């Protein structure tokens, strides 16, 4: 049955929207599945990094299946907050999540992309928030996240006008890190993920947690909390090993990585 697929490449979880015949549109069940998969990635110590992508070549994800979700929401049979886990609202997943955007990234798919940390797109990808054209709003984290991630005027243009933009324009807006030829998309994301696996798990988790939690604090309070995060990292076993390895000019063997699934030969 189509839904959310989870595969492994060593310590990397490859999560896919897996409904390619419907452009990976999300059913209500798929939202539940995606939230559960993010929790699995968070809790599985053998996973260091996740890649989120879509099955097939045409779409990353075009958002909610409107034939199912809109009636459920408008009739009061469903509360949109039930999608919070899929949209990574209030997340405690502090492992890096890479989006590999392989085609149409619209509506809820765009919103889920905004919850990821590093974003690589195929040169054929397109992006858009069409909600205003059907009388709804992008409330899957976008009303909060978008103006915090890119300039206000570009965020408002995307949300108010609802037009699609190309990967090149999305890169210019600051939504993406990189654009690659479509055939190289997943390969590029996996290469990046393996680079992250070689870093300190403690450091990566501390960076992500601090960035997510400090952004809304007053500056002086944020500086105080930053020092606590920094102290936690500097006194960790990973820091001891990393500094020792640096002094001896060898590759570090971070304790936080000892439980990871080895990469297949």
Length of the chain: 265
Secondary structure element (H or E) that encloses residue 15, with its range: strand 12-18
Q: What would the pLDDT profile of 14-34 be if each residue is shown by its tens digit? A: 999 999 999 999 999 999 999
- Cβ pair 157, 183 in contact under 8 A: no
Encode burial over 229-245: b for 16+ CB neighbours within 10 A, e otherwise. Answer: beeebeebebbebbeee
Q: What whole-number percentage of the chain has pLDDT above 70? A: 97
Rg (CA), the chain: 19
Between 1 and 220, residue with greater pLDDT: 220
Q: Report the run of H or E that residue 50 belongs to, with start and end.
A: strand 49-54
Q: What is the pLDDT of residue 134?
A: 87
Question: What's the whole-number mean pLDDT along residues 232-249?
Answer: 95
Please, what is the end-to-end C-alpha distance for the chain in angstroms? 31
pLDDT at position 1 over 90: no
Average pLDDT over residues 49-74: 88
Return all residues near 203 (Cβ < 8 A) that are at least 6 apart: 233, 238, 239
Token look-up 């559960």 returns 36
Structure tokens at 209: 């947690």
Q: Is the dihedral of CA 87, 158, 99, 222 positive or negative?
A: negative
Q: How far is 194 from 198, CA to CA, in rounded Å?
A: 7
Q: What is the pLDDT of residues 162-218, one digit of tens each?
A: 999 999 999 999 999 999 999 999 999 999 999 999 999 999 999 999 999 999 899
Percent of the chain with pLDDT over 90: 87
Selecting among 33, 40, 82, 131, the annotated active-site residue is 131
Predicted local confidence at residue 24, as pLDDT: 97
Domains along the chain with CATH numbers:
4-197 (3.90.226.10), 200-257 (1.10.12.10)
Query: Is 131 noted as a catalytic residue in this protein?
Result: yes
Residues 41, 89, 34, CA angle at the centre, nearest 5°? 40
All residues at 6 or more sequence positions from 33 whose CB lies less than 8 Å from its CB, including other chains = 3, 4
Average pLDDT over residues 141-157: 97
Show Cβ contacts of residue 117 under 8 Å, excluding neighbours closer than 6 positions.
96, 97, 98, 208
Comparing CA positions, the residue from 242, 232, 243, 238 lying closest to residue 255 is 238
Q: Which of 33, 111, 126, 241 is catalytic?
A: 111
226 as an active site residue: the answer is no
Q: Supply the mean pLDDT for the chain.
A: 94
Average pLDDT over residues 228-251: 95
């Amino acid at each position: 049955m189509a839904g959310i697929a989870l595969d492994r490449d060593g310590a990397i979880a490859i999560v896919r929207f897996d409904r390619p015949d419907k452009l990976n549109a999300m059913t209500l069940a798929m939202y539940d599945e995606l939230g559960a998969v993010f929790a699995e990635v968070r809790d599985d110590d053998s996973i260091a990094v996740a890649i989120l992508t879509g099955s097939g070549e045409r779409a990353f994800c075009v958002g909610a299946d409107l034939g199912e979700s809109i009636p459920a929401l408008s009739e009061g049979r469903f509360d949109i907050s039930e999608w919070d886990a899929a949209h990574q609202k209030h997340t405690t997943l502090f492992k890096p999540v890479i989006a590999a955007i392989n085609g149409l990234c619209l509506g809820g798919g765009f919103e889920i992309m905004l919850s990821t940390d590093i974003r690589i797109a195929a040169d054929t990808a397109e992006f858009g928030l069409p909600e205003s054209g059907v009388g709804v709003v992008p409330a899957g984290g976008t009303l909060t996240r978008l103006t915090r991630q890119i300039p206000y005027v570009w965020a408002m243009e995307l949300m108010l006008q609802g037009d699609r933009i190309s990967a090149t324009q999305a890169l210019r807006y600051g939504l993406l890190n990189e654009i690659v030829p479509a055939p190289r998309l997943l390969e590029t994301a996996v290469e990046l993920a393996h680079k992250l696996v070689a870093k300190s798990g403690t450091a990566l988790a501390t960076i992500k947690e601090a960035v997510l939690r400090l952004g809304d604090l007053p500056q002086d309070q944020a500086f105080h909390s930053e020092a606590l995060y920094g102290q936690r990292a500097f006194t960790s076993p990973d820091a001891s090993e990393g500094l020792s390895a640096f002094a001896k000019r060898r590759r570090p063997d971070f304790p936080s990585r000892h439980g990871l699934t080895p990469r297949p030969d």
